[in-house]
């Protein structure tokens, strides 16, 4: 399995499929690169699709510490430089969207565009930022992790879907197509990554993102409310927002065909213009 050593010698696993202009997929908290299976299958006939496991997640190593946003950014930069990737589109989902935004200043010369799926510039609500969950939510999830890790993961996963979506999802399909066989993160990695997610605030960085950005968000997202995407769309200089009516937090599973079509159209426009 391909991997590289990050700047602090953490082994980072990544998937590498197809050939052509590079597209780098970043998954979210507690999951792995397996979440992008449908996208890699659909796009790798035209693009080189790369999907790393964030440190502590999937098949990447889980060091005792080093889960701050700057560590995740360093890992992404290390992958891009290790493979000498240029003119890449980075597709980030949830926590992965935050990593993509945070990495932008460092990777600007190697990027052509960003796609933020179910993303937010700030995960926790504040008096001047109501379009997010209460700060109590990640704290409660952290306590659940300590009590029963497997149950906490299950509750978080099920909480990504509004009721109308949950009724349509077959549990075997979730295991086979979305979660795959990747191991779940150990408790220390999940807890520290969750702390990073809860504390991050990237609102002030949005105006500096000067490449095209596609925002894809479900109108029924219970984890990152759709107003978070609207907030970013108003502040990113070259943003396009696509709202999927009724979709929850994981459109790569519940709306795979629609998401793949949006990605294809966006990538075609990006590369036709260069």
Catalytic residue IDs? 94, 221, 249
Confirm if 251 and 218 have CB atoms less than 8 A apart: yes
The alpha-carbon radius of gyration of the chain (Å, integer) is 17
Backbone angles phi, psi at 88, to 5 degrees: -85, 150
- Select from 66, 21, 14 the least CA-distant residue to 43: 21
Retrieve residue 257's tokens.
């065909």
d(CA 71, CA 86): 21
In the block, tokens 């108003």 appear at 234
């Amino acid at each position: 399995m391909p991997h590289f050593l990050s700047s602090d010698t953490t082994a980072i696993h990544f998937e590498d499929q197809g050939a052509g202009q590079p597209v780098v997929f970043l998954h979210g908290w507690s999951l792995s690169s397996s979440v992008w299976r449908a996208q890699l299958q659909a796009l790798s006939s035209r693009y080189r699709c790369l999907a790393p496991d964030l440190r502590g997640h999937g098949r990447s190593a889980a060091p005792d510490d080093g889960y701050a946003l700057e560590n995740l950014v360093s890992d992404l930069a290390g992958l891009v430089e290790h493979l000498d990737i240029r003119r890449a589109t980075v597709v980030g989902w949830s926590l992965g969207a935050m990593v993509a935004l945070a990495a932008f200043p460092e990777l600007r010369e190697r990027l052509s565009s960003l796609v933020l799926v179910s993303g937010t510039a700030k995960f926790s609500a504040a008096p001047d930022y109501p379009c997010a969950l209460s700060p109590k939510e990640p704290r409660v999830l952290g306590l659940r992790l300590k009590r029963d890790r497997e149950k906490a993961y299950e509750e978080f996963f099920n909480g990504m879907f509004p009721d109308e979506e949950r009724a349509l999802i077959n549990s075997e399909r979730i295991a086979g197509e979305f979660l795959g066989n990747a191991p779940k993160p150990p408790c220390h990695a999940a807890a520290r990554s969750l702390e990073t997610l809860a504390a991050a605030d990237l609102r002030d960085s949005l105006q500096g993102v000067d490449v095209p950005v596609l925002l894809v968000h479900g109108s029924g997202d219970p984890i990152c409310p759709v107003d978070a995407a609207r907030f970013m769309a108003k502040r990113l200089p070259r943003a396009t927002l696509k709202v999927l009516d009724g979709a929850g937090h994981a459109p790569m599973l519940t709306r795979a065909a629609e998401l793949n079509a949006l990605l294809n159209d966006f990538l075609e426009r990006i590369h036709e213009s260069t």
